[in-house]
Amino acid sequence: MASSLYHRLADPLTQASTVPILLVLFLVAWFFFSYTDLSVVRKIQGATGHYVQFAYSCFFKPHTGDGTGSQQDALESFYKSQASIYDATRSTLLQGREDMLALVAAQVKHRRTTGQSPQKPIWVDIGGGTGWNIEQMGAQIDVPNFFHAVYLVDLSTSLCEIATKRFERLGWKNVHVVCEDARVFRLSDYEAGVDDSNRDFSIGQSIYNEDARDSVGADLLTMSYSLSMIPEFHSAVDSVTNLLAPNGIVGVIDFYVQNGVEFSHRNYMGGAIDRHCMWISRVFWRTWFELDRVNLESARRDYMEYKFGTILSTNRRANVVGFRIPYYIFVGCTRRTGSMLKEVAQLDAAVTESPFISALDLHSQTLNPRKRRSSSTERRSKAFDTAVVNLSASLPLPAAYYQNNKTRIYYDHTLPKHTQFNDEYIYAFTWEDSRTDARLLKITGDDVILAITSAGDNILSYALERPKRIHAVDLNPAQNHLLELKVACFRALEYQDMWKLFGEGKHENFHKLLIEELSPHLSSQAFDYWLHVGPKTFDRKGSGFYYTGGSRHALQLIAWLGSLLGVRNDMRRLCEVQTLAEQREIWTKRVRKVLLSQLLAYFVVGSERFLWKALGVPGEQRAMIEEDYKRENSDRAPRSAEEKTSGTGRPGEVGATKSGQAIWNYGVQTLDPVASDTLLSLDNHYYLVCLLGHYTRRCHPDYLTPKAHLKLSTEGALENLRIHTDELAEVFARMQPEALTIAVLMDSMDWFTPSGPEAEAQVLAVNRALKIGGRVLIRSSGLMPWYMRVFEENGFSPKRVAARVPPGTCTDRVNMYASTWICTKVAGVAAEVFEGEGGKEG
């Protein structure tokens, strides 16, 4: 072999071809070292050496120790050779640690601000290693002054030595490094003996008092990529549980793999987006990490979630050299099983508008359940029913009960009625004129309102009137996530950030805002949702928030047609002109022929898929539009009340051509009056956002004014809001009779079929829930919707308060609906009807 190589190198042809290659390599090296700072070269060399050492220690070095076989021996065998380079090589692999620390810091600071933790807290970092977590926490909290004491507990002596040197360098005197097994670590060994009157920090006895061995509890406990390395994890989690004070916070981040079947029926997780891992991911990562004694089986995470109440939970993927490694972040608290009974009763009373039942009575009812009756005292929310089941089974309560603000009511996110929306909201903005609502409803401080959430804009407009309570209801979880986000912004952000998010629709650092400011004010499901979709939604380089959701299809179509047909600049001018005369001229001469193209109406807007996907128009509503058009163009006048009603036919019954004509005609009657009678640049933000994709400082919804922000950001201003994720009929049915004064149903009644029982069931439920004299506000795509007869037959007096009659009338700034109605309750429904309804409900 050596002889063959010699002869090849001696060949003149080989030498001639090798010389240019060597010359090119020499020139590349010469240019690199000539134009590169020597310090950069040293860094590259050092980094290369670190990763070579890391690869050797992890994948090639035999894991041999002193032969004792103990966990400490195993850890030392693994870490001793790489302790000095641990931090330098883990930044890419151990992703998400900064987010976990920021999340628990936000929770701890929130509790300090609200007086829940009035004294200096104690922090214990289990498996803290080199102390990187504690130093990194300095970006969120002034560690030496904020905490009474910080304890780093780790079993590896090599890593503890690095940590000790770190804090000596930083000069943080309140940080203590303890090289000890987490299962035997007790705070009382270090914090006992201080007289109660002289304590300036929080010490609380563990909530699990019956088997507690420690009288001192930590206010913050963290575990960063350490739970997966503890063989006896049950006892370790039990010990950590025993360390946590009653009002403490626990934060965990770690790798995991799990099959969706394992958690499919669990209601206390707090969100499951991306929790399921594909089988190849489960097999590969579990096998790969086991080589280094890191265990990814799902039981570790499951047991931890069982032992604590979930505040926030999310599932992420670490992108490492093209691979996506699953990891999770969990923020929890003590389960407080015994003391939760009173909170369950209080929340249930607020949800159902029922009188408060004492915790003692509630516990008695739980232990001695009676057959459910339809009386007011027995009405319970779904959240209550779930809580009772969980308490009876010794399970944690759903995450909704551990929120800092009890705004969002528990719902089962796995039900098909919720998953049908594919984690996407339809409406990014609300299509209801809040000014008209205020004029028609005349909201006072005594009103209890139930309204459809949609994008939440009108809910916030109602909140400005300071009613007694607002119940926001939507079947689509994502619509309620959007309202939750807006509410959290009022509670946590300054006006300028609020304006960037929902005025401009973009923010340069949404992720940072979400983690550090908004997270304490969001439910786990809403937080998890916005962590996944928010950065892209509000990205400065993207199209902006208002080009998201189902309604984005309509906005994108308008922008595309405007650019294609050369009227995009005219659309922008519509949003800038200062007089109606200028606006009418631009509309008539340039823009109208694009937006009101009959070809567009026939083939795009008139299609059933587009109407539903982009505009949220179901087939039943489309049938109303078609019937009104058919009647308007008929030579024969209606001969009966039945013929005058809208929506009794089937969608598409008039034929494809007539259907397209009906949709086109409806668009004409919607947009022409708006362009003629309302000034977009100053007074019609509903259409301005459609043309621009954002609001302007002069034209925007009520809730985006500085005055509104000052009012709604006041402490307690939105405590009267409850967000329900369910059908309207379900929420009405579980309300205390005659609890509501106003119900805003938008156009939801248009969605029912005349032949079905749903409309009558909902009207009966509304009747029971409303006081005498209570009002129902309804908008409809029909001039005389068929279901008004149902209202009349069940105790209501309907009155049409606005209609597009004659054609060309502008009913309000949106003018999207053909008619607006106020149905006033004038009589109750017979008691036997309620009894039947109660029987169905139970």
* pLDDT tens for each residue of 120-163: 999 999 988 889 999 999 999 999 999 999 999 998 888 899 99
The CATH superfamily label for domain 85-334 reads Vaccinia Virus protein VP39 (3.40.50.150)
| pLDDT value of residue 208 | 45
State yes or no: pLDDT of 837 exceeds 70.
no
Q: How many CB atoms neighbour CB 162 within 10 A?
A: 20
State yes or no: pLDDT of 10 exceeds 80.
no
State yes or no: pLDDT of 362 exceeds 80.
no
Lowest mean pLDDT segment, chosen from 7-21, 160-174, 605-619: 605-619
| pLDDT value of residue 363 | 44
| pLDDT value of residue 11 | 64
> Where residue 839 falls among pLDDT bands split at 50, 70, 90?
very low
> Packing angle between helix 340-352 and helix 382-392, nearest 10 degrees?
160
> Where residue 432 falls among pLDDT bands split at 50, 70, 90?
very high
* pLDDT tens for each residue of 726-762: 998 889 988 889 999 999 998 889 888 888 898 999 9
| pLDDT value of residue 635 | 57
- The strand pair at 149-154 and 122-126 is best described as parallel
* pLDDT tens for each residue of 755-772: 889 899 999 999 999 999
For residues 218 and 248, what is the distance between their CA atoms, to the nearest angstrom?
Answer: 6
Average the pLDDT over 576-600 and give the result. 86
Percent of residues, the chain, with pLDDT higher than 70: 76
For residues 150 and 173, what is the distance between their CA atoms, to the nearest angstrom?
Answer: 9
Here the tokens at position 706 are 């500085």
Burial class (CB in 10 A: 0-12, 13-18, 19+), 490: buried
* pLDDT tens for each residue of 684-696: 999 999 999 999 9
> Where residue 174 falls among pLDDT bands split at 50, 70, 90?
very high
* pLDDT tens for each residue of 479-517: 999 999 999 999 999 999 999 999 999 999 999 999 999
Average the pLDDT over 220-236 and give the result. 91
Phi/psi at 151 (5° precision): -115, 120
* pLDDT tens for each residue of 770-819: 999 999 999 999 999 999 999 999 999 999 999 999 988 999 999 999 99
CB 128 within 8 A of CB 154: yes
- Higher-pLDDT residue of 516 and 837 is 516
For residues 720 and 446, what is the distance between their CA atoms, to the nearest angstrom?
Answer: 12
| pLDDT value of residue 212 | 46
Lowest mean pLDDT segment, chosen from 96-105, 115-124, 650-659, 776-785: 650-659
Q: Which amino acid is at 452?
A: I
| pLDDT value of residue 742 | 97
| pLDDT value of residue 357 | 46
| pLDDT value of residue 522 | 97
| pLDDT value of residue 603 | 53
- SS3 call for 237: helix
Locate the DSSP E strands across 384-439: none
| pLDDT value of residue 836 | 46
Question: Residue 800: in which H helix or E strand, if any?
Answer: strand 796-803
Nearest of 820, 842, 757 to residue 794 by alpha carbon:
757
Here the tokens at position 560 are 């595309």
For residues 709 and 494, what is the distance between their CA atoms, to the nearest angstrom?
Answer: 8
Q: 85-334 and 419-538+702-841 share one CATH topology?
A: yes
Average the pLDDT over 533-551 and give the result. 94
State yes or no: pLDDT of 253 exceeds 50.
yes
Q: How many Cα atoms are found within 13 Å in the side-chain-facing hemisphere of 389?
A: 10
**Could you please report the per-residue DSSP string of 649-697?**
S-TTTT-HHHHHHHHHHHHHHHHHHHHHH--HHHH-HHHHHHHHSS-BT
- SS3 call for 446: coil
**Which residues have C-beta within 8 Å of that of residue 561, sequence separation ≥ 6?**
594, 595, 600
| Average per-residue pLDDT for the chain | 82
For residues 351 and 685, what is the distance between their CA atoms, to the nearest angstrom?
Answer: 33
Average the pLDDT over 302-327 and give the result. 92
Nearest of 629, 679, 650, 648 to residue 807 by alpha carbon:
629
Burial class (CB in 10 A: 0-12, 13-18, 19+), 443: buried
For 550, which DSSP code? T
What number of residues does the chain have?
842
For 735, which DSSP code? S
- SS3 call for 257: coil
| pLDDT value of residue 300 | 93
CB 93 within 8 A of CB 55: no
* pLDDT tens for each residue of 337-352: 656 777 777 777 777 7
Question: Residue 313: in which H helix or E strand, if any?
Answer: strand 308-320
| pLDDT value of residue 643 | 54
The CATH superfamily label for domain 419-538+702-841 reads Vaccinia Virus protein VP39 (3.40.50.150)
Residue carrying the six token digits 């937006």: 595
Average the pLDDT over 300-318 and give the result. 94
For residues 577 and 571, what is the distance between their CA atoms, to the nearest angstrom?
Answer: 11
State yes or no: pLDDT of 232 exceeds 90.
no
CB 329 within 8 A of CB 313: yes
> Where residue 375 falls among pLDDT bands split at 50, 70, 90?
very low
CA dihedral 650, 651, 654, 659 (to 10 degrees): 160
Q: Which residues of 638-654 are buried (b: 16+ CB within 10 A; e: fewer)?
A: eeeeeeebbbbbebeeb
Residue carrying the six token digits 């129902």: 776
**Which residues have C-beta within 8 Å of that of residue 818, sequence separation ≥ 6?**
624, 625, 628, 646, 666, 669, 780, 781, 782, 783, 803, 804
| pLDDT value of residue 87 | 56
| pLDDT value of residue 47 | 47
* pLDDT tens for each residue of 176-216: 999 998 888 989 888 865 444 444 555 444 444 444 445 67
For residues 151 and 271, what is the distance between their CA atoms, to the nearest angstrom?
Answer: 31
**What are the residue ranges spanned by the domains of the chain?**
85-334, 340-396, 419-538+702-841, 552-692
**Which residues have C-beta within 8 Å of that of residue 829, sequence separation ≥ 6?**
764, 767, 768, 794, 795
Q: Which amino acid is at 722?
A: R
Percent of residues, the chain, with pLDDT higher than 90: 51
CB 739 within 8 A of CB 448: yes
